[in-house]
């Protein structure tokens, strides 16, 4: 991601100051605005890395999920569940991956109504290459210590749990 010239002040800090003069809930506003900006930064950098491999983060996640499965395949419905995305999003992701030769859609051997998505050898190879690049780039989280990364995860975990991501 192209680096912009840094502002001489923190715009979120300034917005927080002005926000507090009008509405209150400054800490919540500052936290959510910082979270949203951090998400923009991280996704932008991850997409730049993955674009070299012809992937988006969503497609990368789908391929990784398939590599984690015992057989290298999962029903489309199970993929949506595990990726926490809408079924139409899974269909779109799988369609793109299939067009690139990274996955196959095959009939489910036990359920005639279901379709499996199976990762190909090319898909496995691409996951390894893309993952190596992401690891080398610290998943766009350069500058954070291991302790800060653990803290970030522990701060976000209850938010996700309260939203119903997991029980």
Per-residue pLDDT tens for 7-41? Answer: 999 999 999 999 999 999 999 999 999 999 999 99
Reply yes or no on whether the pLDDT at 45 is more than 70.
Answer: yes
* Cβ neighbours around 72 below 10 Å, total: 17
* Per-residue pLDDT at 1: 55
Q: What's the Rg (C-alpha) of the chain? A: 20
Reply yes or no on whether the pLDDT at 161 is more than 80.
Answer: yes
Indicate the domain borders of the chain. 16-155
Query: Between 1 and 100, where is the model more confident?
Result: 100
131-147 mean pLDDT: 96
* 16-155 carries CATH number 3.40.50.720: no
β-strand partners of 115: 107
Residue 161 contacts residue 77 (beta carbons within 8 Å): no
* Per-residue pLDDT at 111: 86
120-130 mean pLDDT: 99
% of the chain residues with pLDDT over 90: 90
CA atoms of 50 and 125, how far apart (whole Å): 14
Q: State how far Cα 68 lies from the chain centre.
A: 16
* Per-residue pLDDT at 3: 66
* Cβ neighbours around 97 below 10 Å, total: 26
Residue 83 contacts residue 63 (beta carbons within 8 Å): no
Closest CA to 102 of 137, 73, 131: 73
Reply yes or no on whether the pLDDT at 2 is more than 70.
Answer: no
* Per-residue pLDDT at 94: 98
Reply yes or no on whether the pLDDT at 156 is more than 70.
Answer: yes
What is the biggest distance separating any 2 CA atoms in the chain, rounded to whole angstroms?
63
Reply yes or no on whether the pLDDT at 114 is more than 60.
Answer: yes
CA atoms of 76 and 90, how far apart (whole Å): 7
Closest CA to 144 of 42, 46, 30, 64: 42
Q: What is the mean pLDDT of the chain?
A: 95
* Per-residue pLDDT at 4: 74
pLDDT in tens, 54-83: 999 999 999 999 999 999 999 999 999 999
Reply yes or no on whether the pLDDT at 85 is more than 70.
Answer: yes
């Amino acid at each position: 991601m192209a680096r912009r010239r840094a502002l001489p002040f923190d715009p979120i800090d300034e917005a927080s100051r002005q926000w507090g003069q009008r509405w209150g809930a400054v800490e919540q506003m500052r936290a959510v605005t910082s979270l949203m900006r951090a998400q923009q930064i991280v996704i932008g950098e991850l997409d730049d890395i993955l674009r070299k491999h012809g992937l988006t983060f969503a497609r990368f996640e789908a391929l990784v999920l398939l590599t984690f499965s015992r057989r290298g395949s999962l029903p489309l419905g199970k993929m949506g569940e595990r990726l926490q995305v809408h079924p139409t999003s899974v269909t779109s992701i799988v369609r793109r991956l299939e067009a690139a030769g990274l996955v196959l859609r095959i009939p489910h051997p036990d359920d005639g109504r279901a379709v499996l998505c199976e990762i190909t050898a090319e898909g496995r190879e691409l996951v390894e290459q893309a993952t190596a690049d992401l690891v080398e780039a610290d998943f766009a989280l350069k500058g954070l210590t291991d302790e800060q990364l653990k803290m970030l995860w522990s701060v976000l975990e209850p938010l996700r749990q309260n939203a119903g991501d997991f029980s």
